Amino acid sequence: MTPAPIAVALDAPDLETAARWAALVTPHVSTVKVGLELYLRYGPDVIASVKGASGVQVFLDLKLHDIPNTVAGAASAVARLRPAILTVHAAGGPAMIRAAVEAAPHTEIAAVTILTSLTEVDLDRIGLAGPADAAVRRLAALSVEAGATALVCSPHEVSAVRAEVGDRIRLITPGVRPTGAATQDQARVATPERALADGADLLVIGRPITGSPDPGAAAAAIAASLRRSV
């Protein structure tokens, strides 16, 4: 069976747990995601540990955000690990995004538009008043112009972003919660089936899978419900 278009967020406190989660979910999902917690604790070795023998895609979610020269250096440093996807913040601006794209030519650069944890009240307070999708669309358009071939947005904006950037850009949505699951610190959320139907290409799901007593079964159940929904 083809693995589901899900990136499981391996936000684990230690490498053994992350590698165990990765081994349990990889028969069912296409991708595992390494974020700041794991990478800052263990460094580059974490990539080989979570990849194991399965050859699953690794998504390195470092959300780089600095001046272009610094981001170019950071992207080039991690490019040698050959992650399938590397994130940068779209708010770093076009020159910074382009610097990452040029420094990591074999990795897909995904620009994070507006974090899925932010509410419209938060956006107002940081000077981005108005509906989230207006800011997300603007950041999406500038990121693609700068060379990003993937974008991270919430499921709430995914159809608006698809209309803005077309079919060739990969849309990645965190903020995904199966019906009835706790939203935790996520603000702009939808179910996996809704996110996929609205145009997402890759769903990022962490705690609803990794917080389950059986992460493999949780991943398999979400993958099966996605197959039934298409």
Ligand X SMILES: O=c1ccn([C@@H]2O[C@H](COP(=O)(O)O)[C@@H](O)[C@H]2O)c(=O)[nH]1
Return the structure tokens found at 99: 């610097």
Nearer to ligand X, 53 or 121 (CB): 121
186 marked as binding residue = yes
Residue carrying the six token digits 């997300």:
136
d(CA 175, CA 172): 10
Return the structure tokens found at 182: 């706790």
172 marked as binding residue = no
Return the H-helix or E-strand segment holding 99.
helix 94-103
* 66-125: contacts with ligand X (CB under 6 A): 112, 115-116
**Catalytic residue list contains 61:** yes
Q: Which of 14, 45, 66, 201 is catalytic?
A: 66
Residue 222 is a binding residue for ligand X (CB under 6 A): no
Interface pick for ligand X out of 206, 219, 220, 223 (rule CB under 6 A):
206
Residue type, 63: K
Distance of CA 167 to the CA centre of its chain: 18
d(CA 169, CA 151): 7
Check the CA dihedral 2-210-108-188 and report its sign: positive
Cβ 142 vs Cβ 112: under 8 Å:
no
**Catalytic residue list contains 66:** yes
Residue 152 is a binding residue for ligand X (CB under 6 A): yes
* 3-42: contacts with ligand X (CB under 6 A): 9, 11, 35
> How many chain residues are in contact with ligand X, going by CB under 6 A?
16
Judged by CB under 6 A, which stretch of 19-27, 93-101, 158-166, 201-209 contacts ligand X? 201-209
- Backbone φ and ψ for 122, nearest 5 degrees, come out as -60, -45
Nearer to ligand X, 144 or 151 (CB): 151
**Catalytic residue list contains 63:** yes
Q: CA nearest 140: which of 192, 108, 100, 97? A: 97
Interface pick for ligand X out of 122, 207, 221, 225 (rule CB under 6 A):
207
The span from the first CA to the last CA of the chain, in angstroms, equals 15
Residue 143 is a binding residue for ligand X (CB under 6 A): no
33 marked as binding residue = yes
Q: Which of 61, 133, 167, 214 is catalytic?
A: 61
Nearer to ligand X, 51 or 156 (CB): 156
Interface positions with ligand X (CB under 6 A): 9, 11, 35, 61, 112, 115-116, 152, 174-175, 184, 186, 204-207
